[in-house]
Amino acid sequence: MTEPVRATSAVVDFITRTRWRDIPSDAVTLAKRCLIDALGVVLAGSTTPGSAILRDYIRTNDVSEATVFGREAFRASISEAALVNAASGHAMDFDDTQLSSTPDRIFGLLTHPTIPPLAAALAIGERDHVSGARFLEAFLVGFEVECKIAEAIHPNHYKKGFHSSGTIGTFGAAAAAAKLLGLDPDATAHALAIAASLSAGIRVNFGTMTKPLHVGRAAQNGVMAAELAARGFTGGEDALDGPWGYFEVFGFGGGFDPDRLIGQLGQPYSIVSPGVSIKPYPCGVLGHPSMDAMRKLVTEHDVQPEQIRAIRLRAGSNILNPLRYPIAHSELEAKFCPAFMLSSIALRRKAGIHEFTDEFVRSAPVQRMMANVQTIFDPEIEARGFDKIRSRVEVDLNDGKRLVEDADERYRGGPDRPFTRDELVEKFTECSALVLSPEGIADTLGLLESIEELPDLRALVRVLATAGSETSIAGQA
């Protein structure tokens, strides 16, 4: 009788066998869009207080292998550079989101797929002078492994409290690192086993500096796992499988769905189908369609803040549980606070990096408006499933009129309504202008849009490491 294919061996085989020539062109095109988006939010996130603390924490190390980006770029070990750059990339909660493909896999509760493999591959790629094509190959391998593991594991992994961008992001980073390091199948299996034990991050830390630290540690731990395996460090066999393997332990006894992983890696690439969501707002993606619905109401009806008596958000548990702060008292809490998300739109008709600041969140107009926002569990919305972000926004005006808008399931930034190139460039420019000069922004975009042609990734790193702006987020609040 033929032995069934194990999950671990399927992942190892995909990592070691995939070649640049095998990757479809649409996956490469979408990967470059994700890189533009992600590097913009890395640069913007490098200016946040949490990133500053991390930078200071590692700066005393005299190892000089890879670049930590920001207004004052400096070099550190590859694991430390991966840590800080990845934490910066998630600091504003502005990085992209993995999509679910079925109602039982909850959209928005899978991973932020780009940052861990990007930060890991960027650090190793800089140190080892890899080409743009090899960098892209490794990034896409890591992205795919991360997404397929996140889709396969039982949803209890997230529901019971793990933050999958931190836990499963570790495998994405490890896969990308293993690919660049050229690990053989045995060493790759050991890297996955080491990554399984380093995987961490719990949801109690949402709304604090530790949430982006989860993603930073995912990148760092993925690099560490691959580097240790390359040196002969060992881990258990079949790290993903069996009663003590990752899926069973981290799936709270629910294990995983083999049909979502085995035989599915690269068939198609998850970046192509179901795709990836690029964020229009720097906060939890589960609030974005509601924010767009609110924006549609206030703009189409020209609603002024003083006209609003009450705001209600009706939604299911997939939205109301993760967006857990009833009132925000900091910009970190605001990223998971529906009251702030809708209040910002009501007051300014936007909610960007200059709205998500402590100063604006704590201001009297925002605090007054948030007090008028109510969230309501809606069983009818709940019954429709969790594969889409479904909600309804109701606004009561002082004159007695009630305005109602259902959130559009074809939300901005998702595959059904993807950013145009102009919209993507606008977001990148807004983010990167906090660090780069206009010339640096243009040069970076040019290199990213043709990155597969770069003979040495350091050409991109040199541009990203050239600071040219003294603007701060606080100064533009």
Cβ contact 149:272 at 8 Å:
no
CA–CA distance from 110 to each of 75, 98, 150, 164, 468 (Å)?
Answer: 32, 6, 6, 6, 36
- Write down the pLDDT at residue 408: 85
Domain assignments of the chain as residue spans, ordered by start: 7-277, 285-406
- Write down the pLDDT at residue 476: 37
Distance CA 383, CA 394 (A): 20
Helices 169-181 and 115-127, axial angle in degrees (round to 10):
30
CATH of 7-277, one of 1.10.1040.10, 3.90.180.10, 3.40.50.2300, 1.10.4100.10: 1.10.4100.10
Find all residues with CB under 8 Å of 219, minimum gap 6, and list them. Answer: 82, 83, 85, 86, 115, 116, 117, 119, 120, 123, 169, 173
Per-10-residue mean pLDDT of the chain, 477 residues long, equals 76 98 97 98 96 90 89 94 97 93 71 97 98 98 98 93 97 98 98 98 95 98 98 95 96 94 96 95 94 97 98 95 94 96 98 96 98 97 85 97 92 90 96 95 97 97 75 37
Distance CA 123, CA 416 (A): 33
- Write down the pLDDT at residue 109: 64
- Write down the pLDDT at residue 172: 98
- Write down the pLDDT at residue 472: 39
Rg (CA), the chain: 22
- Write down the pLDDT at residue 3: 57
pTM comes to 0.92
Architecture of 285-406 per CATH?
A: 2-Layer Sandwich (3.30)
